[in-house]
């Protein structure tokens, strides 16, 4: 009898010491954003002994190939961003935090459940309200008001779309219509957004939560003619300046200027950029693809990185990681801090640095021909296609220009 009891105790002790297995397959995560649930969908994949995580927002897939798994925990490093998810592994559960390493005290609760694929609620063919369409939108924060354009598509109770703003779009939003309320979220490793709204007085009235403490209210009216301010009139050269000049170190510390020999007699695209910026990630992917197809023409691209810390080694390491992850074929310099007021001081010829990204087009004679504020990314559908057409038209025009005879 004593032997049986001892054996039972040993079996119990052994089972208690068994760590739960990390399940491979679909997961539904929840990030707590100021008391609001931000649902996110991801899949854990295992190849041999290596784990990957694929985050999904609508049609977007972001593969995390730096995932550390121990007997009882998982750490997901968020692609090019200096952000992470740390969680303990339970029986079909994950419990932990989402952290931004470059922001003080940024730590949001995170949980996940295995086997669930829905966003806010399970898919249904029925919905009490239809939110599809194009809207003129106004966001109101405690310090500012921003005009935007909302575009939404609805199938049953499933809702997708985005907001376009003068400084960039809110990328791929996915959600549901629940009891007459629209709910959308996105999580891409750096953006952690939740949008909600209801119909009122012929329009929409809602809220927008972002990160640990940002909250805005918003209103919207259906409007097929809704539009943003001209992106090429928001940033410009101040009076008294006739060009762009700077001297910034590259990732190895070598000073670079736009007047260097390698840029002479070429069209030069300057990309005001940050590795912390998802819209910059979208633009970098576009510019990389375009440059790979056109690098034999008289063109060069130079990224001006404005990073989260005033530390060259930190900034350089973030840019190098980004270049590797995205296979970027052009060079970057470390230009300064991501604070927009501080960034503007490094480029005193501009009226301001309003948006990351901002793209400056300089012709073969060194003349600034166009400055485009913000970026309309692939999550905007037809608006992205229109941007590509405009970009290609501009570049074909600049590349066909002749050099001035004085050069």
Note whether residue 16 is domain-resident: no
Which token pair is 18? 């068994």
Note whether residue 235 is domain-resident: no
Shared-domain flag, residues 324 and 382: yes
Q: Which domain holds residue 381?
A: 248-400
Note whether residue 239 is domain-resident: no
Which token pair is 232? 């090429």
Note whether residue 296 is domain-resident: yes
Can you say whether residue 381 is alpha, beta or left, with left for phi > 0 and alpha for psi between -120 and 50 degrees? left
Given the DSSP bridges, would you call strands 67-69 and 331-337 parallel, antiparallel or unpaired? unpaired
Spatial contact of 120 and 158, defined as CB atoms under 8 Å apart: no
Shared-domain flag, residues 110 and 138: no
Last residue of a domain, one of 222, 239, 270: 222
Which token pair is 180? 């007459």
Shared-domain flag, residues 282 and 218: no
Q: Where are the beta strands (DSSP E) in 78-202?
A: 83-89, 93-100, 107-114, 133-140, 145-155, 158-165, 168-169, 173-178, 181-187, 192-200
Nearest one of 302, 177, 181, 319 to 247, comparing CA atoms:
302
Note whether residue 372 is domain-resident: yes
Q: What pLDDT does residue 19 have?
A: 74
Distance CA(289)–CA(321), nearest Å, equals 18
Strand partners, 109: 97
Shared-domain flag, residues 272 and 180: no
Q: How many domains does the chain have?
A: 3
Q: What pLDDT does residue 67 have?
A: 98
- Residue ranges in the chain modelled with pLDDT below 50: 3, 7-15, 407
Distant-in-sequence, close-in-space partners of 199: CB < 8 Å, separation ≥ 6:
129, 131, 180
Half-sphere exposure of 114 (CA within 13 A, CB side): 14
Distant-in-sequence, close-in-space partners of 168: CB < 8 Å, separation ≥ 6:
279, 355, 356, 357, 374, 375, 376, 377
């Amino acid at each position: 009898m004593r032997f049986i009891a001892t054996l039972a105790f040993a079996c119990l002790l052994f089972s208690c010491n068994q760590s739960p297995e990390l399940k491979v397959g679909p997961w539904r995560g929840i990030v707590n954003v100021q008391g609001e649930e931000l649902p996110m969908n991801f899949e854990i994949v295992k190849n041999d002994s290596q784990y990957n995580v694929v985050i999904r927002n609508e049609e977007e897939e972001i593969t995390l190939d730096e995932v550390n798994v121990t007997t009882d925990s998982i750490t997901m490093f968020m692609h090019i961003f200096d952000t992470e998810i740390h969680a303990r592994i339970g029986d079909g559960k994950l419990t932990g935090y989402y952290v931004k390493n470059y922001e003080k005290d940024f730590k949001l609760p995170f949980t996940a459940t295995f086997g669930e694929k829905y966003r806010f609620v399970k898919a249904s063919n029925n919905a009490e309200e239809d939110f599809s369409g194009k809207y003129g939108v106004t966001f109101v924060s405690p310090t500012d008001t921003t005009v935007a354009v909302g575009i939404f598509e609805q199938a049953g109770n499933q809702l997708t779309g985005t907001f376009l703003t003068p400084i960039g779009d809110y990328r791929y939003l996915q959600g549901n219509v629940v009891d007459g309320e629209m709910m959308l979220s996105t999580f891409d490793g750096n953006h952690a957004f939740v949008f909600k709204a209801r119909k009122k007085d012929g329009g929409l009235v809602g809220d927008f939560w972002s990160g640990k403490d940002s909250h805005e209210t918003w209103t919207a009216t259906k409007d097929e003619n809704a539009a943003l301010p001209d992106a090429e009139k928001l940033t410009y050269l101040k009076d008294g300046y006739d060009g762009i000049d700077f001297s910034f170190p590259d990732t190895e510390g070598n000073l670079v200027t736009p007047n260097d020999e390698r840029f002479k007699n070429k069209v030069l695209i300057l990309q005001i950029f940050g590795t912390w910026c998802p819209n910059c990630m979208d633009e970098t992917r576009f510019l990389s693809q375009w440059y790979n197809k056109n690098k034999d023409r008289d063109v060069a691209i130079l990224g001006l990185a404005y990073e989260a810390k005033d530390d060259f080694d930190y900034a350089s390491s973030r840019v190098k990681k980004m270049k590797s992850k995205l296979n970027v074929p052009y060079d970057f310099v470390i230009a300064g801090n991501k604070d927009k007021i501080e960034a503007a001081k490094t480029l005193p010829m501009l009226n301001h640095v309003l948006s990351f990204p901002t793209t400056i087009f300089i012709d073969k004679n060194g003349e600034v021909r166009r400055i485009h504020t913000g970026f309309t990314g692939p999550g905007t559908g037809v608006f992205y296609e229109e941007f590509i057409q405009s970009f290609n038209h501009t570049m074909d025009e600049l590349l066909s220009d002749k050099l001035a005879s004085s050069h």
